[in-house]
C-alpha cells in the first residue's frame, strides 16, 4: 500500500514574542481616581512617613548629642549644619524611597491599597524607578517654587515658607478640579507632568498561596 502523497499538515503553535510584557490595566479600562479619595490616601501614607521620619530624628539626635548632655539626660537640639546638611536630605530620600518602592513593586502604597487605587503609566505598564523619580520631582516643582518665592519675599520667614509649600502642594491636586479641557481631564498636575495615571481598581479575588516551612516541606 502506497503512502498518501498528501502533505501532512501540522498545527503550528503561535509563538509569543519574547519581549512581550505583562501589562497592567490601561488608563481607559478602569475609572480614574478622584482627587478627594487620593487626598485621603495621602493622609494614610503620611502617618507611616511621620513614623519613619521620627525614627530618623531619634537616630540623629542620639548620634549628635554630646556626651555631657547625654550624661545629664538633656535633649540637645541638632545644629543647623546637621538639620540642613543631613536630616533634610535623608528625609527626602526616605520619602522618595517609600513611594518609589511601592510604586515600582505593586503600583500601590499602603493608603492606595486600602482604597483600591493603583498607579500606572499612560501606556498601561507598571512604573519603573525612573518613572517614580520623574513623578516625585514633578510633585515637588510647584511646592519648592512657592516656598522659594515666599522665602525671598518674606526675608526667611519660616511660617510663610511652610504655608507657601503647603499651598503649592495642594495646587497639584486642585489642578484636577479645574475645567481645563484637553489639559487635565481630572488628572492632577504631577500626573500630567510625569505621564502617569491613578486608577480605581475593582476588588481582586484572594488567591491562597502554597504554604512552605523553610522550603523543606511540601504544599499544604
Backbone angles phi, psi at 17, to 5 degrees: -60, 140
- The rounded mean pLDDT for the chain is 79
CA distance 151 to 164: 9
Conformation bin of residue 88: beta by default, left when phi > 0, alpha when psi is -120 to 50: alpha
Tell me how far apart the alpha carbons of residues 146 and 140 are, in angstroms, rounded to a whole number: 10
Q: Which residues of the chain have pLDDT under 50?
A: 1-25, 70, 220
Q: For residues 102 and 135, what is the distance between their CA atoms, to the nearest angstrom?
A: 13
pLDDT reported for residue 71 = 52
What pLDDT is attached to residue 90? 92
Q: Give pTM, 2 decimals.
A: 0.74
- Write down the pLDDT at residue 11: 44
| pLDDT on residue 50 | 95
Taking the C-alpha atoms of residue 89 and residue 85, their distance in angstroms, rounded to an integer, is: 7
- In this prediction, residue 66 carries a pLDDT of 62
- Residues 7-37 have pLDDT tens digits of 444 444 444 444 434 444 455 578 889 899 9
Nine cell digits for residue 119: 498607579
pLDDT of residue 169: 92
Sign of CA dihedral 157, 39, 41, 138: negative
Q: How far apart are CA 10 and CA 111, in angstroms?
A: 53
| Residues shown for the chain | 220
SS (H, E, C) 146-193: HHHHHHHHCCCCHHHHHHHHHHHHHHHHHHHHCCCCCCCCCCCHHHHH
Amino acid at each position: 500500500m502506497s503512502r498518501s502523497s498528501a502533505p501532512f499538515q501540522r498545527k503550528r503553535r503561535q509563538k509569543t514574542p519574547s519581549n512581550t510584557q505583562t501589562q497592567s490595566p490601561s488608563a481607559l479600562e478602569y475609572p480614574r481616581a478622584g482627587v478627594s479619595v487620593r487626598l485621603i490616601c495621602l493622609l494614610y501614607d503620611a502617618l507611616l512617613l511621620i513614623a519613619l521620619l521620627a525614627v530618623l530624628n531619634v537616630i540623629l539626635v542620639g548620634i549628635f548629642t554630646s556626651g555631657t548632655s547625654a550624661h545629664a539626660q538633656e535633649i540637645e537640639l541638632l545644629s543647623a549644619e546637621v538639620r540642613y546638611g543631613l536630616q533634610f536630605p535623608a528625609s527626602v530620600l526616605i520619602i522618595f524611597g517609600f513611594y518609589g518602592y511601592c510604586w515600582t513593586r505593586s503600583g500601590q502604597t499602603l493608603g492606595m491599597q486600602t482604597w483600591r487605587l493603583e498607579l500606572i503609566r499612560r501606556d498601561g505598564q507598571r512604573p519603573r524607578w525612573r518613572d517614580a523619580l520623574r513623578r516625585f520631582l514633578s510633585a515637588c516643582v510647584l511646592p519648592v517654587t512657592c516656598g522659594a518665592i515666599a522665602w525671598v519675599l518674606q526675608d526667611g520667614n519660616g511660617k510663610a515658607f511652610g504655608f507657601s509649600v503647603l499651598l503649592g502642594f495642594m495646587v497639584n491636586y486642585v489642578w484636577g478640579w479645574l475645567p481645563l479641557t484637553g489639559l487635565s481631564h481630572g488628572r492632577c498636575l504631577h500626573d500630567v507632568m510625569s505621564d502617569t495615571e491613578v486608577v480605581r481598581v475593582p476588588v481582586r479575588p484572594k488567591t491562597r498561596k502554597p504554604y512552605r516551612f523553610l522550603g523543606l516541606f511540601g504544599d499544604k
